[in-house]
Amino acid sequence: MPEQLHARVEACYQQAEAFFKQRFERPQVNFKLRGQKAGVAHLHENLLRFNPQLYRENREHFLRQTVAHEVAHLIAHRLFGNRIRAHGEEWQLIMRGVYELPADRCHNYEIARRQVSRYIYRCECPERDFPFTAQRHALVRKGRRYFCRSCRATLVFSGQQRLE
């Protein structure tokens, strides 16, 4: 785990402790997150997971905003309990009041989308196809059936695939 990220988590905790005048247990931190999310706070496990790809591509903003965003979730949970909304007023109070950062719910990092293969299914309707994911295609192979809402015929694999 990069030292800068670990140091930023610690700095966020020290800021919160100075503001609220109480000590908070430090979380486990790892880089085992992939996909579109930049970070995730697991409240009951006291765990922070971060996306290494998005960290590498957006280091400065990631350290300042994303790390504080996720730490604020853990702090809000410790202070206010389970019944608060994830991005509710308690979390916003911490983002704005403690960290003096915008309470943005989502990041706007550029995400490279990978190409996925779609399995083409057809019904009796003319010139109509249904692109299935690999997961849905596997379910069909195990016996699940899907139907066209227009003609009510069972969708059948055409033998074709395409990349999207």
Query: Of 110 and 131, which is predicted with more confidence?
Result: 131
Residue 106: is its pLDDT beyond 70?
Answer: yes
Count of CB atoms situated within 10 Å of the CB of 118: 19
Q: What is the pLDDT of residue 164?
A: 83
pLDDT tens-digit series, residues 37-64:
999 999 999 999 999 999 999 999 999 9
Indicate which residue of 57, 70, 90, 124 is catalytic: 70
Residue 107 to residue 114: CA distance in whole angstroms:
19
70 labelled catalytic: yes
pLDDT tens-digit series, residues 62-97:
999 999 999 999 999 999 999 999 999 999 999 999
